[in-house]
Amino acid sequence: MRTRILKTLAMLGLSACLLVGSAVSGFAADAANKDTCPKSKDGKHEWKITEEWKEDCVPTDFSLDGETITLCPHCGKEGKTDPVERLSEVKFAFSNYSNIKVYKGSLKNGKTVMTVAFYNSTYIQNAVCAKCGKVENLRTTAARVMDSDTTTNIELPVDAVKGYSLLLVNADGTKTPIDVSIDEARNKAFFQLNTKGGAKLIEMVANG
């Protein structure tokens, strides 16, 4: 099984290299027809591939009790223009999927909420001429959160949810109670969420 996985990963890696190589070769050929390198004797650019990841916000609109709330599940800021950081990141959050981001805090309207999302940074791939420094963008993928019909397991420290009942705020504004399991011995709280629709908003209602 392990050998099969390693072979698959190797094939995927090779495929990726071939795709990038083909893209760069094709790009270089096209670029050669459009301009020349002023610092090259033969006028040809010497293209190198660069990759960059940027931590950009992903503002998301939620409908909460008839009000539209705009939150970034990556930084905890509320608002469309001049957003204010109202939520703080919950440390030691884990899941069976990577890049989980969990934020908790109080909104401008006073409600206590939590956001859960699986975040991917903005990805930028450029071709840079090593001789003259000319830069051409090959691909840019904007920052995004996972949006798939997938059930994920969420694990948080007990203190993050202690004393609260959790209500999932659905896209239509309705709310669904979340079943939370507590393991006091391990200081862990567990629940599940489906990531269809992207980032999730959870209203936290104080018990008693």
pLDDT, tens digit, 9 for 90 and up, residues 146-185 = 999 999 999 999 999 999 999 999 999 999 999 999 999 9
* Among 189, 118, 203, residue whose Cα is nearest residue 160: 189
How far is Cα 104 from Cα 115, in angstroms, rounded to an integer? 7
**Could you report the average pLDDT of every consecutive run of 10 residues in the chain (208 residues)?**
40 42 52 74 94 96 96 96 96 95 97 98 96 95 96 97 97 96 96 97 94
pTM above 0.85? no
